[in-house]
Structure formats: C-alpha cells, structure tokens
Amino acid sequence: VIGVVIGKTDVRSFPDRKNIGSERYTFSFTIRDSPTYFINVTSWGREEYVRALSESFRVGDCVTIENPLVQSKDAEREEKFNPVTPSCYKLLLSENHSVVKTSSCYEMDIKLLSLLHLPVKDPQDYYSLGDITANGQSLDGRILNVLAAVMSVS
C-alpha cells in the first residue's frame, strides 16, 4: 500500500495481559491514496520497535507499507479512537512481518501531496462555529464535526 500520512497518534503503552508486569506499545496513523479512500494503520509491539517506527515518518510523508495484516474493523470500537474511514478494513503492522518505507512524495507521485489537504468528512456534515454559538443549547450532548481554520498564532 502506498499513500500519504494524513494523521498520526502519539505512542502509548498498555499493560500486557499475557505477560503480567510488562507493557505493550502502540500508535496509529491514517494514510490516503486517493480523494475517496483512506485507511487506519495500527502498530503494536515492543517499545523499541514502536517508537522507532513512529519516529521514522511524520504527517505529510509518503509511505509504502509491505505485508500488513488486513483485518475487518469493528466500527463501534475502532472509530472511537481513530478517524472514521470509508473502508471496512484496517491494517495492522507487526515487527516480524511488516515493513514501512518512507520516501518523498515528489519521488513517488506529486498527486499524493494534494491529498494531504482534502477533508476526510462529507462537506455537508460540518457545523460552523457561528452555528454552534447560535444553537448551542439544542446541540448539547451531540457529537459534532467542526471545520475551522487557524488565523494566527501568537
């Protein structure tokens, strides 16, 4: 799979249920290879492997993923912590079988760079900040998609 990284989480650790007293590490990222399709990728494993993999690329880099495990996703669980994707699958990376190679999008395909700036949500599924301010009471308790831009940082 070849795509541009459009999102990435920090490395986290969890107690390992199989090896009491030790930890498993994970991080996730989302890659896109067309205006319509993008997929979530998760890596689990030893701290050294997961940290090194996470540090090997950043959002905006083009990656080639070899030998991922393709799994059906559980939409209820998966999309609480990752972006909602149009695919009913997710990719899992394993230390022993998977490889992630990073390269310049210019070297691969300049079209991939343009995908970095496309929204991942339906353009009709956003609330403006003005709508939220005006209708705040009626929106209480609902999950909303907000489209906003940073005008300045100071």
Task: Give the model's pLDDT for residue 28.
Answer: 94
Residue (of 74, 69, 54) closest to 7 by Cα position:
54
Residue 43 lies in a domain: yes
Whether 51 maps to a domain, the answer reads yes
Task: Give the integer Cα–Cα distance in Å for 56 and 105.
Answer: 15
Residue 102 lies in a domain: yes
Asked whether residue 131 is domain-assigned, the answer is: no
Is residue 126 one of the residues assigned to a domain? no
Residue 33 lies in a domain: yes
Report how far residue 88's alpha carbon sits from residue 75's, in angstroms, rounded to the nearest whole number: 8
CATH number for position 105: 2.40.50.140
* Residue 108: inside a domain: yes
Mean pLDDT by 10 residues, the chain (154 residues): 91 86 91 90 93 94 93 74 82 92 71 76 76 80 76 87
Residue 72 within a domain: yes
**Cα angle: 102, vertex 56, 100; to 5 degrees:** 45
pLDDT at residue 80 in the model? 66
Which residues span the domain enclosing 51?
A: 2-114
Q: How many domains are contained in the chain? A: 1
β-bridge pairing 38-45 and 89-93: parallel
Q: What is the pTM for the complete model shown?
A: 0.78
| Span 12-52, pLDDT tens digits | 998 888 888 888 999 999 999 988 899 999 999 999 999 99
Q: What is the mean pLDDT of the chain?
A: 84
Task: Pull the structure tokens for residue 45.
Answer: 């494993």
In terms of residues, how long is the chain? 154
